[in-house]
Structure 1
Amino acid sequence: MLSLLDLCARIDSGRLTPEGAVGLVREAIAAREPEIGALVCVDPAPAIPTTGPLAGIAVGIKDIIDTADLPTAMGSPIYAGWRPRADAPVVARLKSLGAVPLAKTTTTPFAFLDPTATRNPHHPGHTPGGSSAGSAAAVAAGMLPLALGTQTGGSIIRPAAFCGVVGVKPSFRLLPTVGVKCYSWALDTLGLFAASVPDAAHALALLADRPAIAAHADAGALRIGIVRQDFCAAPDPEAEAALARAARAAERAGARVRDYALPARFGEAFAAHAAIQDYEVRQSLAWEYATHRDALPPRLRAALDAAQGIETAAYDAARRTAHHARRGLKEVFSEDGLDAILTYAAPGAAPAGLDQTGDSRFNRLWTLMGVPCVTLPVDRTSAGLPVGVQVITRFGDDGRALAAAGLIERALRD
């Protein structure tokens, strides 16, 4: 994989020019893209700044994020060839840092469940996950050092686990979702994919203009709770093995690790996620449903059909349940003495076949809670498929989440 920090260091030292760095990415795309299918389009002649902390760093932009220089098709024929007049603020921020938004990466249509044609770089017969399929796959294949994604259920954490890269779903609204096609305004969260935890921390610190996120390298004597989310169906054995391996690595690195069972209110909140998401998508995709229903893919069309019957009272009750659980999560971290939670990133390795994107059951609660989550690759199956874990900290403590993930990453490497 391409390391963002390595490229930056080579550019800063004069061993590589920004143009040369983009050239390396183009070579990697030419070599891997035909078999992976992670990209919608590539800018043939982008502006390449020579100054800025990310000068020469090529970035993939999920194709529900507005770009003025490239089409934004939402993964749907309804928007084929559509060109926004302006960049989304996160894209404008990347450009101000010197980065090059080089390619649009594939997304499931409107970031729901109907799969893309993108293949898992570790096994072409397996899904890369979704909905941020192209972003995860492109970083995993070494085609891009950084890519943007979004998460409403598990669309960053799960594909990062399936593809064996670091994925970061930051605290809710840490990065602006203006200029991003809305699915659920209470849940949609903008995040990123990178080759390593330090790469991801560096990128997030710059994007959010919060240097402390990357400076929080020393995790200290962390108190980590192992959470198995008993309100969900059990994971595959390889996910359980990866969780145990990550826990042992954390202990070797000096963390205090213990099993922790979430109170019942979190199971109730997990169940509330669907009502919030589906009620809101009924409104956010109202025009597409009213005028282009037959052009919508089958899973999304069926979800929108069902969403028409959700009553406002059920939505409001789900929001109250989520609010109470968020308040309760503060107590988990403060009164129950946890600095971080370690749990499954996905039920197991990427499933076989390209007709699905996998199950987000171990992600949805944490998206609803709005807390920072980091996918960390931990293991491989006998077939070579990656298996990851998920590190979670309290709202606004994104630096600690990355520091904890970095501590485990180093322990696994050593």
Structure 2
Amino acid sequence: MMSKDTVAIHELTAVAIREMVASGQHTAEELAQAFLDYAEPLEEKLHAFAYLNREAVMVQAQILDRGRAIGGDLGKLAGVPIALKDAIDTFDMPTEFGSASLAGRQPRWDAKVAKLLRNQGAIIFGKTAMPAFCLGQPAQTRNPHNLEHTPGGSSSGSAAAVAAGMVPVAIGTQTAGSVIRPASFCGVIGFKPTRGLISRSGLQPLCDTIDQVGVFGRNIEDVALVAQTLIAADDDDATTKGVLPRVLVDTALSEPPFKPKFVFVKTPQWEQMDPEAREAFDALAEAMGEETPTIELPTVANTGIDNLKILMDAEFAVAMDEHMRHSGEQVDERTKSIVERGRQVNAFDYLKAKRAIEPVTAGFDEFFERFDAIITPASLGPAPKGLDSTGDSVMNALWSYTGMPAITLPLLQSEAGLPIGIQLVGARHDDARLLRTANWLINNFDAITGES
């Protein structure tokens, strides 16, 4: 049994856990039990999980330890507890998409991302809570920084579980802002890679054109390690055709050959921001000096956001069609209204919105000939009070539409102590460079802002 006096379990990184298990310092079973002992009392307050079963976790740990005993290859995530959003299929745990209409749904196979994690020795710790079908009635997950405030959505449980130290890493999904926004609200790192690098097979379909997988963690190395594990081609997801392994960790932790260059982007929604958050970003832009120019995107940028809404509404309605015909009476009213809205989208608007993705995205390519990353707010402000809403995704929607990689860093906070994320956006397929730039900003943030 691992002594709780020898380690702060909620502060362990994924890399540290892997090294403990690989070296024999602790067994996977000892670590899993310690994480469960820490997480279970917290769960009574946070409601971060849709499914958390001690036996299911311990069985996985015991299998891993038996493999180690006979000299098996443990994998690069040996013994690391990783929580998965309830939108991701697992053969040994229910996946209910956050809806009572799918209570007890038990998939027969793992989603591709779950399979890849298990292949590297990760322990699937549980399924995290989410709003119904990612868009409907919010889950009752609470923000670890203040239980009266939303953790964001739709990957609410994943962000809250990492922020509370229940797990070092968690997986979510993003169609509009469902990774970046909850990461900002909960004060953790949230990384959305370039669309098409990580398979979506075995995930709840919301908007197939846009849907992505994202990673939550508390440091860049953990996030890069898990994202690197998930990047792979999958015959069941055509968007990953031809994808080869990426070296993210080594690049992310390396020193940039030159000081990174940033451009500060104010979206057309700048005036909608919480005044305190807007003031904080103005101060950051001033601290970064003239070498970080500020650019206001034209209102045409709203076209991308409007197009995303069209695609989401239409494709969600199609994805839900069969379920609505068979179990529609059990679906919450919020989901029903979104489905009905999607049914009203006409074919011309839908095809036009889809065709515009490439030209809108290409319009940002010239930014990255001069700059390493775009800096922009991750949300309109700190997490709003209340659990009836998960917040507004308007600060993330454009980058989701384009499929560009984005990451939020927990570097700012409100006077009330609530986190405010700084979002960095990179060039398509330049994920390693974005992670390296993010790591540089974390390491140099105090020097830039003059804080001790």
Q: TM-score, normalised by structure 2?
A: 0.86
- Would you say the 8 A contact 2:404–2:426 is kept in 1? yes
The equivalent residue for 1:82 is 105
Alignment partners' CA distance in 2, 1:32 and 1:244: 36
The equivalent residue for 2:276 is 238
The equivalent residue for 1:194 is 217
Tell me which amino acid in the other structure corresponds to 1:47.
Q
Tell me which amino acid in the other structure corresponds to 1:394.
A
Alignment partners' CA distance in 2, 1:11 and 1:412: 33
Tell me which amino acid in the other structure corresponds to 1:170.
P
Alignment partners' CA distance in 1, 2:18 and 2:279: 35
Deviations 1:77-101 (A, max 9, x none): 1111111110001100000000011
Alignment partners' CA distance in 2, 1:128 and 1:103: 18
- Would you say the 8 A contact 2:268–2:299 is kept in 1? no
Instruction: Tell me by how many angstroms 1:317 deviates.
Output: 1.3
The equivalent residue for 1:153 is 176
Secondary structure of the residue aligned to 2:292 is strand
Q: How does 1:107-126 map to 2 (within 5 A)?
A: 107-126=130-149
- Would you say the 8 A contact 1:239–1:349 is kept in 2? yes
Instruction: Tell me by how many angstroms 1:231 deviates.
Output: 4.9
Alignment partners' CA distance in 2, 1:127 and 1:134: 11
Instruction: Tell me by how many angstroms 1:338 deviates.
Output: 2.0
- Would you say the 8 A contact 1:273–1:318 is kept in 2? yes
The equivalent residue for 1:316 is 351
- Would you say the 8 A contact 1:160–1:166 is kept in 2? yes
The equivalent residue for 1:307 is 342
Change (3 A) 1:413 1:19: farther
The equivalent residue for 2:160 is 137
Change (3 A) 1:302 1:235: same
Deviations 1:23-63 (A, max 9, x none): 22112212311110001112414322241111110110100
Q: How does 1:6-405 map to 2 (within 5 A)?
A: 6-43=16-53, 44-45=55-56, 46-48=59-61, 49=64, 50=68, 51-208=74-231, 210-216=245-251, 217=253, 218-219=255-256, 220-231=258-269, 233-244=271-282, 247=285, 256-334=291-369, 337-405=370-438
Change (3 A) 1:174 1:243: farther
Change (3 A) 1:57 1:276: same
- Would you say the 8 A contact 2:159–2:182 is kept in 1? yes
Alignment partners' CA distance in 2, 1:52 and 1:307: 43
Change (3 A) 1:184 1:68: same
How much is the aligned-residue C-alpha RMSD, in angstroms? Answer: 1.9
Change (3 A) 1:353 1:26: same
Q: TM-score, normalised by structure 1?
A: 0.94
Alignment partners' CA distance in 2, 1:373 and 1:357: 20
Instruction: Tell me by how many angstroms 1:211 deviates.
Output: 4.9
Change (3 A) 1:170 1:128: same
Q: Which has the higher contact order (CA 8 A, sep 6+)?
A: 1
Higher mean C-alpha displacement, 283-292 vs 120-129: 283-292
Deviations 1:69-118 (A, max 9, x none): 10001101111111111000110000000001120100111111421110
Higher mean C-alpha displacement, 156-165 vs 210-219: 210-219
Extract unaligned runs of 5+ from structure 2.
1-10, 69-73, 233-244, 448-452
Percent identical: 34
Tell me which amino acid in the other structure corresponds to 2:48.
A
- Would you say the 8 A contact 1:169–1:190 is kept in 2? yes
Alignment partners' CA distance in 1, 2:146 and 2:343: 38
Tell me which amino acid in the other structure corresponds to 2:420.
V
Alignment partners' CA distance in 2, 1:56 and 1:193: 17
- Specify which of 3, 9, 14 is matched with residue 13 of structure 2: 3
Deviations 1:253-280 (A, max 9, x none): xx94221233554232222111111111
Tell me which amino acid in the other structure corresponds to 1:380.
Q
Extract unaligned runs of 5+ from structure 1.
none
Instruction: Tell me by how many angstroms 1:244 deviates.
Output: 4.5
Tell me which amino acid in the other structure corresponds to 1:302.
S
Alignment partners' CA distance in 1, 2:353 and 2:122: 40
Aligned length: 409
Tell which structure's C-alpha radius of gyration is larger.
2
Instruction: Tell me by how many angstroms 1:409 deviates.
Output: 1.2
Instruction: Tell me by how many angstroms 1:247 deviates.
Output: 4.9
Alignment partners' CA distance in 2, 1:293 and 1:365: 31
Tell me which amino acid in the other structure corresponds to 2:392.
D
Secondary structure of the residue aligned to 2:417 is coil
Secondary structure of the residue aligned to 1:363 is helix
Alignment partners' CA distance in 2, 1:144 and 1:107: 17
Deviations 1:239-260 (A, max 9, x none): 2244346557767xxx942212
- Would you say the 8 A contact 1:238–1:387 is kept in 2? no
Higher mean C-alpha displacement, 118-127 vs 30-39: 30-39
Alignment partners' CA distance in 2, 1:250 and 1:291: 56
